[in-house]
Chain A
């Protein structure tokens, strides 16, 4: 394995405005701890309560979605790892990006769903949200019944962007970028 080059990683973080990043296995506890750290950091920057809530909420939905998904598909080891990056764009917006390994068919469905959400305006997203909220709940399902993506789209300042990259071994890597 190549030696870890801390200096060049640091330079890349700075250049891309990365405030926080994580790569590895996420536990519920870790999600909570990192989330609290993110909140405190933003409060220290004197951000408005709304900005802090939006970034925190996007972070929570993204990471919990990944946890639910990897459990649902029984992914293990490195395939269950998540990559999470919080950064600031050149114009000062917060950007939360996350990625994880998915089955290609699930990835395709996500890409399609995100494209459909991107076509909706604020009112359309709200209607879709209320509609999804009223869908019958599968008693064994742990998730917010597909509400997560719509919630992300509603909090985002611009349409969600995603990418899907095929990997060797029949799996794919999905990543999602939310500009707040």
Chain B
């Protein structure tokens, strides 16, 4: 399976899914008008990784602002991780944010409370 790379822009985060490393990175703001157009390939990539590999999958996020349709798409990705976790697959999320940007921490926290896999929210200065 190929790596997936999406260049970031004002309203799209930079996305990099690395098959070899078992890692999906997303960084930046996310408020495209049609979030599913942007995220469907990422959702598909995660789905095939979890289906074909037994290696761990990590999501490394440095997302800032998400519009509601991006939030909905993110939930679909995290639901896939939860399903894998329930089946014994090692998965985890690491969400990094700037300490003073407390809205990001609140957003990440609202996601985390719905899941039981390892989900770290890490502040940096």
Contacts and interface: CB of A to CB of B under 8 A. Distances in A.
Interface of A: 28, 32, 35-36, 48-50, 53-54, 56-57, 60-61, 64, 67-68, 126, 130, 133, 137, 142-145, 147-148, 151
Given A53-B101, A53-B103, A32 B10 contact: yes
A28 B37 CA distance: 14
Given A133-B72, A147-B72, A61 B103 contact: no
Interface in B1-51: 10-11, 31, 33-36
Given A36-B10, A54-B103, A64 B72 contact: no
A54 to B, nearest CB: 7
A151 B71 CA distance: 11
- Which 3 pairs, one residue from A and one from B, show the smallest C-beta to C-beta distance? A144-B68, A147-B68, A144-B69
B27 to A, nearest CB: 17
Contacts of A151: 68
A148 B103 CA distance: 17
B119 interface: no
B125 interface: no
Given A32-B10, A32-B11, A61 B36 contact: no
Contact of A144 (B64, B72, B76, B114): B72
A32 B65 CA distance: 13
Given A50-B102, A133-B75, A142 B34 contact: yes
A68 B33 contact: yes
Given A57-B65, A61-B67, A49 B72 contact: no
A53 B102 CA distance: 10
Contacts of B100: 48-49
